[in-house]
Amino acid sequence: MRMETQGKVITCRAAVAWGAGEALVMEDVKVDPPQRLEVRLRILFTSICHTDLSAWKGENEAQQAYPRILGHEAAGIVESVGEGVEDMKAGDHVLPIFTGECGDCRVCKRDGANLCERFRVDPMKKVMVGDGKTRFFTSKDNKPIYHFLNTSTFSEYTVIDSACVVKVDPRFPLEKMSLLSCGVSTGVGAAWNVADIQPGSTVAIFGLGAVGLAVAEGARAKGASKIIGIDVNPDKFSLGREVGISEFINPKESDKTVHERVMEITEGGVEYSFECAGRIEALREAFLSTNSGVGVTVLLGVHASPQLLPIHPMELFQGRSITASVFGGFKPKTQLPLLFTQCLQGQLNLDLFISHQLPFSDINEAMQLLHQGKALRCLLRL
C-alpha cells in the first residue's frame, strides 16, 4: 500500500458515465481523501450486474445524474481511513457493499431486517452522507463527478462510508469474494434468509442470470427436492444443471403458460418462486406458479419505473404471499463473514458465476456481454 497517498488527493483511472446509454469513458479523475467515518479503497476487481446496466441505460429518469461513476460489485484493499473508523485499517482486504449497516438504528438492531435507516441502498443518492458532497472530480477542470449506490467501483480508487465496507479474511481470494458484494449474496440470501427454503420443498426460478443461479445454488444447499428454471435462453440450462436445477421451461417453446407447466410438473405448484428477470409478466407467472395455500414469491428483479404489482388484492387471500429481497436479507457487516467462511469451506461454488475475465479498459465490452445475455459475471481486473 502506497502510504504516501494517505491524506492526499489521488489521480487515477475511472470509467465515467456522461449520459444515458453512452459508452463509458475511461479517463483520469481526482479522488479526495476520506472524511470522518469514510474509507478510501483501491479497487482490484469489479464486475457488472443488471443494476449497473439499468442505470447505464437510464431506465429510471430519477436516477440520472451525470457525470457519474457506476459500479457496486467489487473487492479491494483499504488505502486509508477517515477519522473515527476503528474496525478497519490501511491494507485490509474488503468488499464494498451497496447497502450499509450502521449498527445503531432500529433496523440494524432488529433481527431479520437489513435496510439500515442511514446507509440503506438508494439509487437516487449521488453524494456522501457526511457532508452531502462528492469525492470525485474531473482531472482537467475539477468539476464534480457523482457517486452511485454508496460505492462507485468503476474507478481504481473510491471513497465509501465505512458502514458500507466489510472486511474479508486475507486467505479468501478477492476475485471470487467480489461476487459476494452483490449478485451471489442476493440470490443465496433470498433462498436462505428471505424465503427460508425447507428441505424437500419445490422451487421455481424465473430468470437464470447470476442472481437466479445463485438462488438455485442456495436452494440446492438447503435440500430442495425439485428446482425448476425458467428462461428464454436455453444456453443457460447447462449451467443450471450444475447448481441443481432438474427441470427447465423455455416460455417461447410451450403453448401453455409457464405457471400451467409448473403446476403440471409439481402437481399443484411450488412452495417457493423467485422472480429474477425484472419483468412484470414474469412476476405474474411466478406468483401463479406457487401453491395455493403455502406459496411464497420473492421478488429480486430490477424493474423499470413506473411499474405496479400485477396482482389483485383478493388473490392474496388464496394462501399465496409475495415479498421482496434486498441483498438477500443479509446484514452486511454482521452476517457476511459467516457466508465468506461457508464459501471457503466449499458450501457454495463461486467459480461457475465468473463467465468472462477482462481488463478494466474493456469495461464497455463487458457491458455489452451482459446486455446481450452472453455473460453471467464479467470480472474486470483493475
- Which residue of the set 40, 42, 220, 377 is catalytic? 377
- Distances in Å between the alpha carbon of 186 and those of 60, 130, 339? 21, 27, 12
Q: Is 51 a catalytic residue?
A: yes
| Contacts of 317-321 spanning 24+ positions with Cβ under 8 A | 318/292, 318/293, 319/291, 319/292, 319/293, 319/294, 319/295, 320/287, 320/290, 320/291, 320/292, 320/295, 320/296, 321/295, 321/296, 321/297
- Which residue of the set 40, 42, 72, 284 is catalytic? 72
- Which residue of the set 12, 49, 276, 343 is catalytic? 49
Q: Is 108 a catalytic residue?
A: yes
- Which residue of the set 38, 46, 134, 182 is catalytic? 182
Question: In the chain, which residue ranges form alpha helices assigned H by DSSP?
Answer: 50-57, 174-177, 183-189, 210-221, 237-242, 258-266, 280-288, 332-344, 363-371
Q: Is 5 a catalytic residue?
A: no
Ordered DSSP codes for 89-155:
-TT-EEEE-SS---SSSTTTTSTT----TTT---TT--S-TTTS--SEEETTT--EEB--TTT--SB
Q: Which amino acid is at 324?
A: A
3-state DSSP call for residue 57? helix
Q: Is 102 a catalytic residue?
A: yes
- Which residue of the set 40, 50, 220, 261 is catalytic? 50
Q: Is 72 a catalytic residue?
A: yes
- Which residue of the set 46, 51, 99, 202 is catalytic? 51
Q: Is 378 a catalytic residue?
A: no
Contacts of 158 (CB under 8 A, 6+ apart): 31, 40, 41, 43, 69, 96, 135, 151, 152
- Which residue of the set 40, 120, 135, 261 is catalytic? 120
Q: Is 116 a catalytic residue?
A: yes
- Which residue of the set 5, 46, 68, 73 is catalytic? 73
Contacts of 140 (CB under 8 A, 6+ apart): none
- Which residue of the set 12, 108, 276, 378 is catalytic? 108
Q: Is 120 a catalytic residue?
A: yes
- Which residue of the set 13, 105, 257, 260 is catalytic? 105
Q: Is 276 a catalytic residue?
A: no
- Which residue of the set 5, 79, 116, 147 is catalytic? 116
Q: In whole angstroms, how large is the CA radius of gyration of the chain?
A: 21
Q: Is 164 a catalytic residue?
A: no
CA distance 322 to 76: 36
- Which residue of the set 102, 164, 276, 343 is catalytic? 102
Q: Is 50 a catalytic residue?
A: yes
Residues designated catalytic? 49-51, 72-73, 102, 105, 108, 116, 120, 182, 377
